């Protein structure tokens, strides 16, 4: 304790404290403004292209064709969206109606997400809770496929699917994308954190392996499953290369592929307004899925049900 | 209601031998406490009885039925785990009912049993809660409830009190004892806490390095420990050990610290000069200003009614005494005497207890 402080009168010290408190209030306010400024900048950077798309989808072909980039919504929204949903536009690069492509995409994304989760839950269950010869070999075999992305093994996969006569079918579209090491790995990591006592308590309660899986392990994994579902749905929804290769039947076309096909190359006039309307439509389902699963999604990423 | 017989239970994990042949017979309704330091194999033994682990050799019989090859669920047992292992996504009632549901009991019967057990444990108000909404003591009760509701032949407790705070532990200890008496179910209780062991068990199994060193009532274990390990393990503060040699034709021991003590319960066998370990409990040491051994104190721990004194004898041997009344502060010294009637005599080499021949 310094002599100066001890010598000061209580009133003087009080004043001092008031000044310190005011300073810390000012600092807190300044920090709040700074963080908000950065956040606003971030929002702007991420949201601006989407805003442009939204606005573009409400103007007529001519406005956008002139090369203007309008920043305020126009009045042709309804007709653009109707055209996109019902016919897929009228231009030379007319694609399938968005309604059909949305349905195809939704079905494909759903099959991929559900299939991946089902397969990886079961394989992770086998790898973690059972000991059998070759268990680690099985795990590593699954694991190393992580190092081979779809693009790398696309030719052999194509060959296999064609040989299986699954070309131009929903099965051919989804099955190769269902086999997944990522989800297996995630579930394995989660299962490893499940205390052994649950397994033992269940054994004493008389629950067999499948019963334990259904009654104990699945309910414990719900948040993880939800989080993974969101991620996998979007992964499936955004697939481009594989659907492009394996499907040339227009009735099976997915929205991401269709959207790309709508944009012609060369000197043709693109119907940008309809393209942007389709893009907005393509954006909606993943957004809806995220919104619907948001609560679970965040929970699954941050905590485990314990 | 059933007996439990273990014979020749051995267990190795790979090359590591964990249990070296355990034999134990538990009569109907008895509460056996398996006590030992961590790593002594006590939990492994319990898990073998539960069927969660298979013995390398030996047989387990429950109620006369050999169950060595049976699944845990078919052994008619219930187990309370250290961390309770309540299923987090089920309510208390569902947790308790789960085992019964799997066994296919009718709904009405399950509801009746769960209700009665909840009543017995005073958790009726908690039946709709999830485990995470319960306090440690309440979880403990639910875990007990899950075991009781099954009306098993045998209860197994795996250190169920170690996650509770001190006060609650004492309370639950008494409660478990009362419940076990009332239900009369044969029980096996594993703990590393000697107080828990002493207060809970009808008999104790003291385990050390994979052997059941002593199987006896708590008082017997305390009064006549089978070897120096048991003697040092049971009792707090731990028993003092002093070196000595047999003298006067086996009728006395000459302590290295000086005095010659005459046995009051008969002579010990062996040649003159046989090396002995003499055990004396801290609470049995008495003040003796004239003839006592000088104890220079280096730590004094007041417990309220009594004081624990840690010090050294002139020869450097450590000695702990538990005395009541005023004591000198650390750094001081006082004289204590060893009453010959309270001696425990062990062979220095094997550590086994040597009883008087008379």
Q: How many whole angstroms separate alpha carbon B97 and alpha carbon B127?
A: 11
Tell me, yes or no, if B87 comes closer than 8 A to chain A by beta carbon: yes
B332 Cβ neighbours under 8 A, 6+ residues apart:
B296, B297
Q: Flag if B99 and A205 touch (Cβ within 8 Å).
A: yes
* B215: pLDDT strictly greater than 50: yes
3-state secondary structure of B257: coil
Q: Mind listing the pLDDT tens digit for each residue in B187-208?
A: 999 999 988 999 999 999 999 9
Question: Under the phi-then-psi rule, with left for phi > 0, alpha for psi from -120 to 50, and beta for the rest, what region is B32?
Answer: beta
Q: Where are the domains positioned within chain B?
A: 4-227, 237-347
Token pair 């273990």 in the structure block, residue: B6
Name the superfamily (CATH) of residues B237-347. Answer: Nucleic acid-binding proteins (2.40.50.140)
Nearest one of B171, B164, B166, B99 to B135, comparing CA atoms: B164
Q: Which of A201, A207, A305 sits opposite B85 (nearest CB)?
A: A201
Q: Mind listing the pLDDT tens digit for each residue in A212-226?
A: 999 999 998 988 898
Tell me, yes or no, if B245 comes closer than 8 A to chain A by beta carbon: no
Q: Mind listing the pLDDT tens digit for each residue in B230-265?
A: 999 998 899 999 999 998 888 899 988 888 889 988
3-state secondary structure of B279: strand
pLDDT of residue A300: 63
pLDDT of residue B51: 93
pLDDT of residue A94: 63
Token pair 């007319």 in the structure block, residue: A94
Q: Can you tell me the mean pLDDT for B274-287? A: 92
User: What tokens were used for B31?
Assistant: 């509460």
Nearest one of B209, B208, B246, B243 to B225, comparing CA atoms: B208
Q: Flag if B72 and A306 touch (Cβ within 8 Å).
A: no
* Mutate: best of A204, A206, A214, A218, partner B, most B CBs <10 A: A204
CB < 8 Å from B in window 195-254 of A: 195, 197-198, 200-201, 203-207, 211, 215-216, 219-220, 222
Backbone angles phi, psi at B190, to 5 degrees: -100, 135
In this prediction, residue B17 has a pLDDT band, given cuts at 50, 70 and 90, of: very high
Sign of CA dihedral A12, A16, A19, A25: negative
pLDDT of residue A305: 45
Q: Mind listing the pLDDT tens digit for each residue in A252-286?
A: 889 998 888 888 766 667 788 888 899 999 999 99
For A5-34, give one letter per residue: b (16+ CB within 10 A) or e.
eeeeeeeeeeeeeeeeeeeeeeeeeeeeee
Say what angle helices A98-129 and A77-86 make with each other, to 10 degrees: 70
* A45: pLDDT strictly greater than 60: yes
* Mutate: best of A190, A197, A205, A306, partner B, most B CBs <10 A: A205
Tell the burial category of A196 from Cβ atoms under 10 Å away from its Cβ (0-12, 13-18, 19+). exposed
CB B321, CB B336: distance < 8 Å: yes
Nearest one of B86, B104, B108, B106 to B96, comparing CA atoms: B86
Q: How many whole angstroms separate alpha carbon A255 and alpha carbon A102?
A: 6
* A15: pLDDT strictly greater than 50: yes
End-to-end Cα spacing for chain B:
42
Q: Can you tell me the mean pLDDT for B212-219? A: 94
Q: How many whole angstroms separate alpha carbon B162 and alpha carbon B11?
A: 25
CB < 8 Å from B in window 124-163 of A: none
Q: Can you tell me the mean pLDDT for A31-52? A: 93
ipTM of the complex: 0.81
| B77 to chain A: closest CA residue | A204
Nearest-5° angle of CA B251, CA B320, CA B210?
A: 80
Nearest-5° angle of CA B304, CA B310, CA B314?
A: 145
Beta bridge partners of B11: B19
Q: How many whole angstroms separate alpha carbon B188 and alpha carbon A84?
A: 73
CB B315, CB B256: distance < 8 Å: yes
The mean pLDDT of chain A is 86
Three-state secondary structure of A242-254: HHHHHCCCHHHCC
Q: Flag if B81 and A197 touch (Cβ within 8 Å).
A: yes
* A1: pLDDT strictly greater than 50: no
pLDDT of residue A91: 61
Token pair 């703990």 in the structure block, residue: B191
Q: Which of A197, A204, A222 sits opposite B72 (nearest CB)?
A: A204
The CATH number that domain B4-227 falls under is 3.40.50.300
Secondary structure E strands in chain B? 4-13, 16-26, 31-35, 57-62, 65-66, 77-80, 154-158, 186-191, 203-208, 211-216, 240-247, 252-255, 260-262, 275-280, 286-287, 293-302, 307-312, 318-323, 333-337, 344-347
pLDDT of residue B327: 77
Sign of CA dihedral A90, A95, A97, A102: negative
Strand order in the sheet with B252-255: B260-262, B252-255, B240-247, B275-280, B344-347
């Amino acid at each position: 304790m310094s002599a100066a402080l001890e010598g000061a009168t209580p009133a003087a010290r009080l004043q001092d404290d008031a000044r310190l408190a005011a300073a810390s209030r000012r600092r807190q306010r300044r920090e709040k403004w700074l963080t908000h400024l950065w956040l606003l900048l971030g929002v702007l950077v991420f949201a601006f292209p989407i805003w442009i798309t939204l606005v573009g989808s409400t103007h007529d072909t001519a406005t956008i064709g002139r090369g203007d980039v309008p920043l305020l919504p126009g009045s042709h929204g309804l007709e653009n969206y109707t055209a996109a949903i019902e016919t897929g536009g009228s231009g030379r690069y007319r694609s399938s109606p968005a309604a059909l492509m949305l349905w195809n995409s939704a079905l494909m994304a759903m099959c991929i997400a559900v299939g991946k989760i089902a397969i990886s839950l079961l394989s992770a269950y086998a790898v973690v809770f059972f000991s059998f010869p070759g268990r680690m070999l099985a795990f590593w075999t699954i694991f190393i496929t992580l190092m081979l992305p779809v693009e790398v093994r696309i030719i052999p996969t194509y060959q296999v699917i064609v040989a299986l006569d699954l070309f131009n079918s929903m099965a051919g579209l989804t099955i190769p994308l269902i086999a997944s090491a990522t989800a297996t790995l995630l579930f394995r990591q989660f299962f490893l954190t499940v205390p052994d006592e649950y397994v033992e308590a269940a054994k004493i309660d008389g629950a067999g392996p499948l019963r334990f899986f259904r009654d104990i392990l699945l309910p414990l994994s719900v948040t993880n499953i939800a989080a993974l579902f969101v991620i996998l749905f979007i992964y499936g929804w955004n697939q481009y290369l594989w659907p492009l290769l394996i499907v040339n039947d227009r009735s099976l076309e997915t929205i991401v592929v269709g959207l790309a096909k709508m944009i012609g190359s060369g000197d043709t006039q693109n119907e940008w307004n309809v393209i942007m309307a389709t893009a907005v439509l393509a954006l909606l389902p993943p957004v809806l899925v995220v919104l619907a699963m948001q609560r679970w999604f965040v929970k699954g990423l941050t905590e485990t049900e314990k | 209601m059933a007996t439990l017989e273990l014979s020749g239970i051995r267990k190795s994990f790979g090359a590591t031998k964990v249990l070296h042949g355990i034999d134990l017979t538990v009569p109907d309704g008895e509460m056996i406490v398996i006590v030992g330091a961590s790593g002594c194999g006590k939990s492994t033994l319990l898990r073998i009885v539960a069927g969660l682990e298979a013995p390398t050799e030996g047989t387990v019989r429950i109620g006369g039925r050999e169950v060595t090859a049976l699944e845990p669920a078919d052994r008619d047992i219930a187990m309370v785990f250290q961390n309770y292992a309540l299923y987090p996504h089920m309510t208390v009632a569902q947790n308790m009912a789960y085992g019964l549901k799997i066994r296919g009991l009718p709904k009405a019967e399950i509801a009746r049993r769960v209700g009665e057990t909840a009543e017995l444990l005073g958790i009726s108000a908690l039946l709709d809660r999830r485990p995470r909404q319960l306090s440690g003591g309440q979880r403990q009760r639910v875990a007990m409830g899950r075991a009781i509701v099954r009306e098993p032949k045998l209860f197994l407790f795996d250190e169920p009190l170690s996650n509770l705070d001190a006060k609650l532990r004492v309370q639950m200890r008494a409660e478990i004892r009362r419940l076990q008496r009332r239900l009369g179910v044969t029980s096996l209780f594993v703990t590393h806490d000697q107080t828990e062991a002493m207060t809970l068990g009808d008999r104790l199994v003291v385990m050390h390095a994979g052997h059941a060193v002593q199987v006896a009532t708590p008082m017997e274990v305390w009064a006549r420990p089978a070897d120096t390990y048991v003697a040092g393990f049971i009792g707090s503060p731990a028993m003092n050990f002093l070196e000595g040699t047999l003298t006067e034709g086996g009728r006395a021991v000459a302590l290295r610290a000086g005095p010659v003590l005459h046995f009051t319960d008969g002579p010990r066998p062996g040649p003159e000069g046989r090396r002995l370990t003499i055990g004396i409990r801290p609470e049995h040491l008495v003040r003796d200003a004239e003839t006592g051994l000088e104890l220079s104190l280096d730590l004094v721990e007041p417990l309220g009614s009594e004081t624990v004194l840690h010090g050294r004898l002139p020869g450097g041997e450590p000695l702990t005494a538990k005395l009541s009344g005023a004591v000198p502060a650390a750094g001081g010294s006082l004289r204590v005497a060893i009453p010959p009637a309270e001696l425990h005599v062990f062979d220095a080499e094997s550590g086994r207890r040597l009883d008087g021949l008379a």
